[in-house]
Structure 1
Amino acid sequence: MLDNMKVLSFTHFVQGPAASQYLADMGADVIKVEPLNGAYERGYGADSVFIDGLSATFFSVNRNKRSLSVDLKNPRGKEVVYSLIREADVVLENYRGGVLDRLGFGYEAVKAAKPDIIYASASGWGSSGPMAEAPGQDLLVQARCGLISVTGDMETAPTVPGVPIVDQHGAALMAMAISAAFARKLSTGVGTRIESNLLNAGLDLQAESIAAYHSGRRGADRFRRDHRLASWFLPAPYGVFRLADCHAVISLGGDIEKFAEAIGNADLIALADDRMANRDSFMKILGEELKGWTYERLDAALAPHGLWYERVQDYDAIRNDPQVAENQCFQEFDIGASRATVLAHPVRYDGAAPALRRMPIDLGGDTREVLAEAGWSAEEIEAMVEQGVINPGSARQAARSS
């Protein structure tokens, strides 16, 4: 779908690499521009997981890209990069504000060389304002944007989601924006300056909640609720319950009177008329009732009425989930003599997930190929290797998809 898009990705860690991975999955030619010692996430592994020296963080967000390793501070290295910029549609970066400007690759400089460029910057807080220069990282943003406060309870246990969801959402928003700008460029020939940030992404995750809170003139006391209730703005039952053999969630949906009757507790039936006003009492009674239930019993009681519930699964369970298998959610590939597992692109196009075409396992492994395509001669490339301007990699075994 994006086969004609060429992207230079000056990105590291998760937000930027994940954004460019979405584009690469959809067919864009994404060249990951890395320093001579490699992108940060090559050396940082989630839970210290490395396969044949490559971090799980790196191979989870850099699928289907090519790796170019170059010294951005070297004048010859700058010539190399600008030769690629002149052929690119998109420059994507998530360096701290001002870094690329100091290196000579800021927006104005790049636009002067390539007037129709799509220049996309992803930051923590935004490019202006009191937080512009502050470190911007997923957990910090979750705290500042209110997400932690509403996930738990400020008085007892503000709760952090178990994964960096703002990074991933910010990446998806950036990929969406770049795709829209590319469509505009194809129809008008005009480039776009795109700016996204994690703070806005964190707020965007809470669109319904924030609209209800401020439009309804609510106060912080509204967040106080039974610990089982998953959301401050939804009535009971909507939350997580401990059963005798597992945890399960029960959500809104179906006839509440049928639900109360199916549970068989008269006190619930009495509270069903106003589940918002009575939500804490409803959740407490239901929680106590379900402690002795098995999931099999819950399933038998609620399924006939079309009510909404689900078992809480861990990562071992999802690996064997038949619906996850049907949706082709996992991909596996070789790194050296070992096998890596990642999530596939989340969207299906004409019934299939985009293929895993390549993985930039080797730092700079595509440098020679990329530069040759840009018109550099073999002699020029080898001279820059000798001078330490570029790192051509060590030709390690390529990833093989399955």
Structure 2
Amino acid sequence: MSHKAGNPTSKSPPDTLPLSGLRVLDLSQVMAGPYCCMLLGDMGADVIKVEPPEAGDQTRKAMGFRMKGQDSPGFLALNRNKRSITINLKSDTGRKLFYALVRTADIVVENSRPGVAAKLGVDYETLREINPRIIYASISGFGQTGPWAQRPGFDLIAQAMSGVMSAMGIPGEGHVKSGVPIGDLGAGLLAIYGILSAVIGREKSGEGQFIDASLFEAALGLSIWETTEYWATGISPQPLGTANRMSAPYQAFSASDGHFVVGAANQKLWLSFCNVIDRPDLLEDPRFFDNRSRLQNRAALVELLAVVFLADTVASWVNRFLEAGVPAGPINDYAEVLQSDHVSARKMVIELDHPVEGTIRSLGFPVKLSATPQQVRRHPPLLGEHNLEIIAELGLEDQQGALRDAGAFSK
């Protein structure tokens, strides 16, 4: 079941949301930056998406399938709770209009390759002269410094070069990338961590600062177990399929009618695990006596368990393990999980009204705040939908014609 956005049971009006009163200028495109800014908007920030005229964010047209209107599902998924203004930053008039926005803003987010913002005159050093309180987050492929800084950065490249892909996949069957873009989304989340830390710091210093986040460092920074294993053993971690580097058994298995996962991550759970599968003899087997020995003899253990689990169904095994207190669950596809009672109970599918698409579905809020729950206050904006509204807020409505004639809104 999906839930209508803006649920009337919400406890907090928009002006009491945690980030209410903060203005964010979103210069970013595609995923990492837009995701970062969307989450800031969900928490109440006034996010103004500053887009190139005519085409807008690349993601509006980039995906191979569309909804009814001009924008792709990918754009709709990443840009709720934002307003859109089109500004030609390559024109002097466009930059002046943007600078007027900067004077009213708290945060700027961009995800161009290092150096591009400076060429446009919208880099941190330029904007801090206009507004010393500005907090400026740059999200790039590899960061603003270092020998790889100028490399183009996609999630695929970040996963490959950070080491993540070297440790993923089935042993002997080649490397795979994480289907969830952890470099992109991780960079967006870590940028928020930096931004909100800087907002708190600004309360003490009165000044903003520059935040340098990257897809590469997000992917590497999430590699806690893998880097630990390398430093402990001197050997680069190899693919393990669904298995865990620190515990066994802790992976996926095949049942008679499908697949499930189970994790016996400590000795107490291992005892319960053996009782569930009715194999008390494994508790006395020296190959599986403790976690260290089970890790050393993982292949033999998995081979043995594979035969055991084929004797019953996914539902039966999962229920039996859960009754014994052993973590287990089926491997759901997205159709199954999105239609599950738990997703409905957690309101992780919401509906919102769009002026072109009608009612669209979106993922809900993955973190719940008790006193100030997040809200969808705005649909993903049409390109330039809020040009007049934002110009009026800047007190420039009487200059609208002159700005248009000077090329502020077009190439």
User: TM-score, normalised on structure 2?
Assistant: 0.88
- How big is each residue's C-alpha offset from its partner over 1:226-270, in whole Å with a ceiling of 9 and x where there is no partner? x5x523x22321111121222100113443133123212466442
Matched, 1:81 2:95: no
Matched, 1:223 2:241: no
Partner of residue 278, structure 2 = 264
- C-alpha change, 1:275 and 1:6, in structure 2 (3 Å) is same
- Partner Cα distance (1:380, 1:252) in 2: 67
- C-alpha change, 1:352 and 1:240, in structure 2 (3 Å) is farther
- How big is each residue's C-alpha offset from its partner over 1:266-304, in whole Å with a ceiling of 9 and x where there is no partner? 664424303122211111111222123202321343233
Matched, 1:243 2:260: no
Code of the aligned partner of 1:372 = A
Partner of residue 357, structure 1 = 377
Q: What is the deviation of 1:23?
A: 0.8
User: TM-score, normalised on structure 1?
Assistant: 0.90
Q: What is the deviation of 1:352?
A: 6.8
Code of the aligned partner of 1:223 = Q
- C-alpha change, 1:224 and 1:143, in structure 2 (3 Å) is closer
- Partner Cα distance (1:343, 1:351) in 2: 21
- Partner Cα distance (2:69, 2:393) in 1: 30
Q: What is the deviation of 1:170?
A: 0.9
Q: What is the deviation of 1:74?
A: 1.2
- Are the aligned partners of 2:315 and 2:330 in contact in 1 as well (CA < 8 Å)? no
- Partner Cα distance (2:118, 2:239) in 1: 46
- C-alpha change, 1:263 and 1:189, in structure 2 (3 Å) is same
Matched residue SS, 1:27:
coil
- Are the aligned partners of 1:267 and 1:285 in contact in 2 as well (CA < 8 Å)? no
Code of the aligned partner of 2:271 = E
- Are the aligned partners of 2:67 and 2:357 in contact in 1 as well (CA < 8 Å)? no
Matched residue SS, 2:256:
coil
- Partner Cα distance (1:108, 1:299) in 2: 57
- Are the aligned partners of 1:7 and 1:30 in contact in 2 as well (CA < 8 Å)? yes
Matched, 1:182 2:199: yes
What is the correspondence of 1:336-355 to structure 2 with a 5 Å cutoff? 336-350=356-370, 353-355=373-375
- Are the aligned partners of 1:118 and 1:194 in contact in 2 as well (CA < 8 Å)? yes
- Partner Cα distance (1:349, 1:301) in 2: 34
Q: What is the deviation of 1:154?
A: 6.2
- Are the aligned partners of 1:145 and 1:199 in contact in 2 as well (CA < 8 Å)? yes
What is the correspondence of 1:203-214 to structure 2 with a 5 Å cutoff? 203-214=220-231
Matched, 1:97 2:114: yes
Code of the aligned partner of 2:393 = E
Matched, 1:366 2:386: yes
- Are the aligned partners of 1:236 and 1:280 in contact in 2 as well (CA < 8 Å)? no
Q: What is the deviation of 1:90?
A: 1.1
- Are the aligned partners of 1:34 and 1:68 in contact in 2 as well (CA < 8 Å)? yes
Structure 1 residue runs of 5 or longer lacking an equivalent are 392-402
Is 13-22 or 325-334 further displaced after alignment? 325-334
- C-alpha change, 1:246 and 1:130, in structure 2 (3 Å) is same
Code of the aligned partner of 1:176 = Y
Structure 2 residue runs of 5 or longer lacking an equivalent are 1-17
